[in-house]
Amino acid sequence: MKINAVLSAHSPLARLWFYNIPRELTPEEVLSFESLRAQFLTDWNTHGKANHGDVFLIENRLVMVVGWNDFESISGCSIDKSVALIRQLGAMFQLDLMDRMWVYFQKDGDWRQAKIHQFWAMRKANEVTDDTLILDTTIATYSQMDELVKTLGSSWHAQMWK
C-alpha cells in the first residue's frame, strides 16, 4: 500500500478520519495536496494549543487524518478545521471527498475502488471473494492501524453479505 509519507509513531489514542477521493489524484494534484497539508498541520489547534497528527494520502485516492493532543480530546473546532481542509481539497480538485459510499479493494495486485453497490455486484459475481483485501475505513483510532488492511471475510462487509 502506497502512503504519501512514512507512518510515524502516533499516540494509540489518536483519532482517525477517512475521506474518499473518487479517482486517483494526478502528480500535480498530489503536490497541491502536500502544500495544503503542510499549511493545515502548521495551523491545526484546539483552543489555541497545537494538535499532534498528520494527514496522509493512501494510494493517491484516500485521505486519512490522524489527530490527538495532550490536554483534551480532539473535537469541535479541531474537527471543523480538518473538515474545512477536506472541503478545500474537494473544491480544488472539483471532487466530492465527503461521499462515504466507496470501497477500496485489491485486485490483481492493484488497489482499486468501487461504489458500494458496484462492489456488492462484483461480490455476487464472485469477482471479489472473502479473501479479497480491502481497506477498512471504519477504524477509529491509531491503535487499530494494523486492521486497516484486512480480508473481505473478516470485515464488516462480511456481516452485511450474510
pLDDT of residue 15: 93
The pLDDT tens digits of the residues spanning 80-138 come to: 999 999 999 999 999 999 999 999 999 999 999 999 999 999 999 999 999 999 999 99
Type of residue found at 116: I
Do residues 66 and 10 touch, judged by C-beta distance below 8 A? yes
pLDDT of residue 66: 95
Query: What's the rounded Cα separation, in Å, for the pair 151 and 153?
Result: 5
Domain borders along the chain are 15-93, 102-161
What's the average model confidence in pLDDT over 32-51?
A: 92
pLDDT of residue 8: 72
pLDDT of residue 19: 98
| Per-residue pLDDT band at 47 (split at 50, 70, 90) | confident
Q: 157 pLDDT exceeds 80?
A: no
Q: 75 pLDDT exceeds 90?
A: no
Q: What percent of the chain has pLDDT over 90?
A: 76
Mean pLDDT, the chain, integer: 91
pLDDT of residue 4: 64
Q: 161 pLDDT exceeds 70?
A: no
Say yes or no: domain 15-93 is CATH 1.10.357: no
pTM above 0.95, yes or no: no
Nearest to 41 by CA among 29, 56, 20: 56
